[in-house]
Structure 1
Amino acid sequence: MSIKTFCIISLLSLALAVYAADKYADYPVHPAASYAITTGNSGLTIGLEPLEDLKDQKTYFDTELSTKGFIPVFLVMENKSKDESFIFDKSAVTYGPVDSSAATPNLHSKIRDNTALGVLASLDTITAFVAMAKVNHASHIQANILKKELQSTTLSPAASAHGFFYVPVPKSGPREKIRLRIPVTRTGSQGSESLALDLIF
């Protein structure tokens, strides 16, 4: 491949990247207490909404995650207390069937592996660009998935946070009800306390 051809492909790929970075819609956020599935303790309210509709998954992630073995679960966390904060560590969140003990998920690496499309091979110019576009598109799908993930944070009084978890589910057939356990640490003038809030969906 000549230098000129490589430069053309690189510029087209960059243009595709700029386009892809802006095309993903943000999922709408509502008050935590307004969701059908909610839990709360000591001023912290958490609302949950699983996105099981494949059209919704395509709209917000540009891919059908359920067919890849994941269900995106949207969470909104709100601290309604006046003088206490809540420390949230996403790595401590666990999930599992309702009738069994929860297991620690390793969602970050799994979701990346399941959306990867491969590495560009030695191809002719047109085929190379098409393949590069596909790989680039996959990388932006991955980036969007990770960008929308709920991150570890400290919720000060009146603060809120929102984002997705990607919970493994069977690729086909009915799924069991899932228990999502969210541990937080409450801190305030009276010291700190560990809490665990469960949501079932």
Structure 2
Amino acid sequence: MNEKVIAVSSRSNEQIRLESERVLRNLMPKALEKPIRFPIAEILEFKLKKEYGFDLAVEELPEGVEGYTEMKGRLLVLSESTYCDNDDPRNRFTQAHEFGHVVLHSREITHRLTENLNAIKTYRKDIPPYKDPECQANTFASCILMPEKPFLDLMIENCSTNDIAAIFGVSYTAAKIRREKLEDKFYKKFRPH
């Protein structure tokens, strides 16, 4: 939380979910209906430039840096290890996180930088989560890798968190957090009493 970022426009988790579903409807509609392993690496490789105008670069990055998105240069950069091991759940989440920056923040931040508007970096601890681009990108990554309806369907089938993580190709921790965030909807919709 000591890093500095540009605060972005407020977005609720619901707004981010809806945006992720719009992206899925465009790129892979079946991911909204049934639990699948969303091919994030292929999307970045083959759709990033065509659909979003961003180039993908793979570079040797400093230790601990897995990726970043350069808005002004319209470049999504991944470390060699994050790019090369597409089966690793953490790498998949990082790829989806950086894609989230492209989808959610590129237009706003590029406009601010180009027009010399408010693009001041602030410590993350001083930004509320709904304006924190990193929190928003994490929510987007979670929603695009584990869409709500298929996730809830697996919960109805009483799938374990481990099984859900394996199906979607995410870490146990990512699946657990997603499950916790969806439990209220699950109980209200499917177990009203």
Q: TM-score, normalised by structure 1?
A: 0.27
TM-score by length of 2: 0.28
Going by fraction, where is strand more abundant, 1 or 2?
1
**Structure index of larger Rg:** 1
In terms of fraction of residues, the more helix-rich structure is 2
